[in-house]
A and B are shown apart, each in its own frame.
Chain A
C-alpha cells in the first residue's frame, strides 16, 4: 500500500522542502543555539537580501533567461538612493524619496537589460555579463570608490526595524514571495512567462507577446534589486561601491535552482526559491557556528548546488 502511495507523490516537487527539513534537524542536533528564535530571525534576515533578488530571478529563469547583473545593480542603485537622500536632507520624505528612487532605478536597470535582450537580440547571459561590468564600474566612478554613508537618522530603521519581533527585511521578502507566487501561478502573465521559457517558438505561434514578457521578467528582477538595495544599505546605513552585492547573482541563481526551477526555464516555483534561499542561509549559519573556515564555505555551497541539480536530473 505505502509504496504505491509513495510513488504517486511527486518527489521532485517536494525535494527542496525535504532537504530543508533534513537540514534543520541536522543543524538542531549539531548546535543547541540553532533553533533559538534570535538565530532563526538572523538567518532569515541574512537570506532576505539575496532571497528577494532570487524571487525576481525566478521569473527571468522561468522565461529561459538569466540575469548576472543583479549584484552590481545593487551597488549602483544603493549608491544613487543614498546620494538622493543625502541631497534632500533629513526627514521621512527624503527616505521615502530614496526608497521610490531605488525601486525606480532598479526597474530601469532591469528594463535596460530587457531591452538589450529583446530589441538587441543578445542572449541574456552575454547581455547581463556586460551590464554587470558596466553597473559596477559606474558605481565606482560615481562614488569615486569611497564608502557612501547615509545621513538620515530614520533610514537605518528600515533595515534594522522589527514588527512583532520579525525584522522588516524578512517580512518584505516573504510578502514579495507571496505576491510573486500569485503572479507566477494565477495570472496570464505568469503562464506566459513559463510558456516563453518552455518553447519560445510555440509562444510566438500562440500569439503571446514574447518580447514583452521577456522584457518584463528583467524589469521584475530589477525591481527586486531595488528592494534589496534599500534593505541592505539601510541595514548598514551605508553602501560600499566595491563590495556591495558581490556574488549576489550567484546566490540568487543558486537559490532558484536549489528550489527546483530548472535553469532551462519553462516552469518556476516561488516557494521553492524561498526554500532554496533559506537552505543556503542555514548552511552559511551552521558552518559559522561549527567554526568551519570561511574559506571553505564556498566549497560547501558549490557542492549543495551540484547535489540539487543532480537530484533534479535523477528525478527526470
Chain B
C-alpha cells in the first residue's frame, strides 16, 4: 500500500486483443521511481505487447495507465516521448542511409531558425557516445555499422531525450560481453540518477543481476510480481513455463534407425559454428533456442539458400552438394520458412498457382496442364481443410492458418523425404495449429523425416522425440525421449548453467 501511494507508473487492468485474440489479460503493476523492473515470459507471453502499449505503439483494448498520479492516454510514440517514456526497440528502427547523429535526432532535430543545427547535434551525439564508451563517429552511416553498433545507436537514441522511464526490449541479444558490461554500467548510473527502467530479457542471469523486481507473464496472464532477491533462476523458469500440456498433441511415434540427413562441422561466415547433428527416418527432431540463436540460418544453410564456409551435408549417407534451393529439392529436401509472406507465398497469386509453384514440372509438358494442376490443389484443399472462396482467390484474403496450410501443401506437392518446418504455427489460431500438428504426425508415420524449429516450448515438448537446443550459432544441448524437459531447454537456450 505504501508503494502504491508514490508509484511513478501504475498500470490498472490492462487488456489487449488483436482481432479477437487476447494477448494481454488484466495486467496490474506499480513501478517506483528509480526502479529497474524486469518482465519475464516465453515468446508470445505478451511482454513486448505490454511495453509497446507503454510507449504508444499499441493502445490497450481496456485499462488505465497512471503516470505520476495522472491518468494518461498514450496514442503515439511521440506522445510517449513527451511524457518522458523512451524505448530501445527489439528491432532496429534506424534509417540505413543516414548518419548516426541524423538518426539519433530523427524527428526531434535541433534547429537554428529553419536550418538544422548540425554542429550542436554532432556534439551532443559525440558526448552521448562517449558516455556509452563507443568510439563511433557521429557522421558514420548506419548501413556501415555492425549489428552491435546499431544497437548502441538505438540506446543513444533513447537516451538523448533524457526520459524518466526507459524501456528496453531485449537490448543485449546482439551485444558482445564487453558491450553488455558497458550497458549494465550505464543502467547503474541511470538508476542513480533516478531513471526508471523496464527491462525484458531472456537471459535470466542478467535479470537477476540488474532488476529490483520482476513481473512474470504467461500466455498474456500476469503470473506474479516478485522481489528479485526472493527468487532464483530456477523459480523464474518454473513460473514462466509452469503449465500442463494440453491435449492438442498427437501421440509420439518412434523413429527408424536409418540416418537420412547428416550435418557435420557446418559453419557460416557470421553466426553458425561447428554444427553437428543427424536426423533419422521418420523422426521429428525439434530445434529450440532463443530468437537469433541461428536456427533459421542453419535451415537456410542446409537448403542452399545461404552460403556455408565449411562443413558437409549427407543425405541418405551420401555427401550432398547443395548450393541452391533446386539442389536441395533434387535431394527431396523441403523448407517451410518462418517468413510466410516474405519468403513463402506469393500473396497476389491464387491458391493453385502457389501450390504448384515448386512442383510445376509435374504438370508441365511443354505446356502447363492446368486441369491436372487444379485437380491436385483441389485434393490439397480437401486434405488440409483449406477454407477459401475459390481456387483463384488471392492468398492475401485468406486467414493466416489457411495460408499456412497452402504453404504446407506447396511443399507436400514436391513429395519431400525431409521437411524442415520453421515456426509452422506462428500467428495462427489454436484449431489450425492442432490440424497442423496432426498432419506433421501423419507425415512422420509415413516415413517422412521432419525438423521442427519452434520458439514455442510447448510445441517442442508435445511433438518431438528428440530436441536440439541452439544458442549463439552453436548446438548447446541435446535431449531425447523422457529426458526432454522445459527447464533444461531454457537453461541451454539462455546459457545459464
In the bound complex, how far is the Cα of B328 from the Cα of A192, in angstroms? Answer: 18
Answer yes or no: A188 CB below 8 A from chain B CBs.
yes
For window 338-356 of chain B, which residues contact chain A by CB distance below 8 Å?
A: 342-349, 353
**Contact indicator B367/A186 (Cβ below 8 Å):** yes
User: Chain A: which residue is nearest B373 at the CB level?
Assistant: A191
Answer yes or no: B324 CB below 8 A from chain A CBs.
yes
Task: Tell me, rounded to whole Å, the shortest Cβ–Cβ distance linking B110 to chain A.
Answer: 36
Answer yes or no: B148 CB below 8 A from chain A CBs.
no
**Contact indicator B349/A195 (Cβ below 8 Å):** yes
**Contact indicator B367/A187 (Cβ below 8 Å):** yes
Residues of A within 8 A of B344 (CB): 202, 205
Query: Among B343, B348, B358, which residue has its beta carbon within 8 angstroms of that of A207?
Result: B358
For window 282-328 of chain B, which residues contact chain A by CB distance below 8 Å?
A: 305, 324-326, 328
For window 168-223 of chain A, which residues contact chain B by CB distance below 8 Å?
A: 182, 186-188, 191-192, 194-195, 198-199, 201-202, 204-209
Answer yes or no: A266 CB below 8 A from chain B CBs.
yes
Residues of B within 8 A of A208 (CB): 357
Residues of B within 8 A of A266 (CB): 346, 348
User: Chain A: which residue is nearest B366 at the CB level?
Assistant: A187
Residues of A within 8 A of B345 (CB): 202
**Contact indicator A198/B360 (Cβ below 8 Å):** no
Residues of B within 8 A of A267 (CB): 348
The A interface is mostly helix, strand or loop, or mixed, namely helix
State whether A198 and B358 are in contact (beta carbons under 8 Å apart), knowing that A188-B364, A191-B368 are contacts in the complex. Answer: no
Query: Among B337, B357, B364, which residue has its beta carbon within 8 angstroms of that of A195?
Result: B357
**Contact indicator A199/B337 (Cβ below 8 Å):** no
User: Chain A: which residue is nearest B329 at the CB level?
Assistant: A207
For window 95-126 of chain A, which residues contact chain B by CB distance below 8 Å?
A: none
**Contact indicator A188/B360 (Cβ below 8 Å):** yes
Task: Tell me, rounded to whole Å, the shortest Cβ–Cβ distance linking A9 to chain B.
Answer: 14
User: Chain B: which residue is nearest A186 at the CB level?
Assistant: B367
**Contact indicator A207/B325 (Cβ below 8 Å):** yes
**Contact indicator B353/A191 (Cβ below 8 Å):** yes
Task: Tell me, rounded to whole Å, the shortest Cβ–Cβ distance linking B477 to chain A.
Answer: 29
Residues of B within 8 A of A209 (CB): 326
**Contact indicator B357/A191 (Cβ below 8 Å):** yes
Residues of B within 8 A of A198 (CB): 346-349
Task: Tell me, rounded to whole Å, the shortest Cβ–Cβ distance linking A275 to chain B.
Answer: 22
In the bound complex, how far is the Cα of B454 from the Cα of A172, in angstroms? Answer: 56
Residues of A within 8 A of B342 (CB): 199, 201-202
In the bound complex, how far is the Cα of B370 from the Cα of A202, in angstroms? Answer: 22
**Contact indicator B328/A207 (Cβ below 8 Å):** yes
User: Chain A: which residue is nearest B303 at the CB level?
Assistant: A205
Size band of the B side of the interface? 20 to 34
In the bound complex, how far is the Cα of B411 from the Cα of A202, in angstroms? Answer: 13
**Contact indicator A207/B324 (Cβ below 8 Å):** yes
Residues of B within 8 A of A194 (CB): 349
In the bound complex, how far is the Cα of B325 from the Cα of A267, in angstroms? Answer: 23
Answer yes or no: B335 CB below 8 A from chain A CBs.
yes
Residues of B within 8 A of A191 (CB): 353, 357, 360, 368
Task: Tell me, rounded to whole Å, the shortest Cβ–Cβ distance linking B96 to chain A.
Answer: 17
**Contact indicator B335/A205 (Cβ below 8 Å):** yes
Residues of A within 8 A of B353 (CB): 191
Residues of B within 8 A of A201 (CB): 342-343
Residues of A within 8 A of B343 (CB): 201-202, 204-205
Residues of B within 8 A of A182 (CB): 367
**Contact indicator A188/B305 (Cβ below 8 Å):** no
In the bound complex, how far is the Cα of B361 from the Cα of A267, in angstroms? Answer: 20
In the bound complex, how far is the Cα of B347 from the Cα of A194, in angstroms? Answer: 12
Residues of B within 8 A of A202 (CB): 342-346
Residues of A within 8 A of B349 (CB): 194-195, 198
For window 396-418 of chain B, which residues contact chain A by CB distance below 8 Å?
A: 410
Q: Which of B326, B342, B368 has the most CB of A within 10 A?
A: B368
User: Chain A: which residue is nearest B357 at the CB level?
Assistant: A206
Task: Tell me, rounded to whole Å, the shortest Cβ–Cβ distance linking B190 to chain A.
Answer: 40
In the bound complex, how far is the Cα of B367 from the Cα of A192, in angstroms? Answer: 13
User: Chain A: which residue is nearest B340 at the CB level?
Assistant: A202
User: Chain A: which residue is nearest B410 at the CB level?
Assistant: A206
In the bound complex, how far is the Cα of B370 from the Cα of A188, in angstroms? Answer: 11
In the bound complex, how far is the Cα of B334 from the Cα of A206, in angstroms? Answer: 9
**Contact indicator B346/A204 (Cβ below 8 Å):** no
**Contact indicator B358/A187 (Cβ below 8 Å):** no
Task: Tell me, rounded to whole Å, the shortest Cβ–Cβ distance linking B414 to chain A.
Answer: 8
Task: Tell me, rounded to whole Å, the shortest Cβ–Cβ distance linking B329 to chain A.
Answer: 4
Query: Among A187, A195, A207, which residue has its beta carbon within 8 angstroms of that of B346?
Result: A195
Residues of A within 8 A of B305 (CB): 204-205
Residues of A within 8 A of B368 (CB): 186-188, 191
Q: Which of B324, B360, B361, B370 has the most CB of A within 10 A?
A: B360
Task: Tell me, rounded to whole Å, the shortest Cβ–Cβ distance linking B316 to chain A.
Answer: 19
In the bound complex, how far is the Cα of B8 from the Cα of A297, in angstroms? Answer: 70
Task: Tell me, rounded to whole Å, the shortest Cβ–Cβ distance linking A207 to chain B.
Answer: 4
Query: Among B325, B348, B366, which residue has its beta carbon within 8 angstroms of that of A204?
Result: B325
User: Chain A: which residue is nearest B361 at the CB level?
Assistant: A188
Task: Tell me, rounded to whole Å, the shortest Cβ–Cβ distance linking A41 to chain B.
Answer: 32
Encode A53-79 as 1/0 by CB contact (under 8 A) with B. 000000000000000000000000000
**Contact indicator A199/B346 (Cβ below 8 Å):** yes
State whether A207 and B326 are in contact (beta carbons under 8 Å apart), knowing that A188-B361, A191-B360, A198-B348 are contacts in the complex. Answer: yes
User: Chain A: which residue is nearest B364 at the CB level?
Assistant: A188
Residues of B within 8 A of A195 (CB): 346, 349, 357
In the bound complex, how far is the Cα of B329 from the Cα of A202, in angstroms? Answer: 15
Residues of B within 8 A of A187 (CB): 364, 366-368
User: Chain A: which residue is nearest B369 at the CB level?
Assistant: A186
In the bound complex, how far is the Cα of B325 from the Cα of A194, in angstroms? Answer: 19
Task: Tell me, rounded to whole Å, the shortest Cβ–Cβ distance linking A270 to chain B.
Answer: 15
Task: Tell me, rounded to whole Å, the shortest Cβ–Cβ distance linking B263 to chain A.
Answer: 20
**What residues of chain A have their CB less than 8 Å away from a CB belonging to chain B?**
182, 186-188, 191-192, 194-195, 198-199, 201-202, 204-209, 266-267
12 inter-chain pairs at a CB distance below 8 angstroms, sorted by A residue, are A187-B368, A191-B368, A195-B346, A195-B349, A198-B346, A198-B349, A199-B342, A199-B346, A202-B345, A205-B343, A207-B358, A266-B346
Rank and list the top 4 A-B pairs by shortest CB-CB distance, nearest first. A207-B325, A188-B364, A186-B367, A207-B326
**What residues of chain B have their CB less than 8 Å away from a CB belonging to chain A?**
305, 324-326, 328-329, 335, 337, 342-349, 353, 357-358, 360-361, 364, 366-368, 370, 410
Known: A191-B357, A191-B360, A195-B357. 17 other contacts (CB 8 A): A186-B367, A186-B370, A188-B360, A188-B368, A191-B353, A192-B360, A195-B349, A198-B347, A201-B342, A201-B343, A202-B344, A202-B345, A205-B335, A205-B337, A207-B358, A266-B346, A267-B348
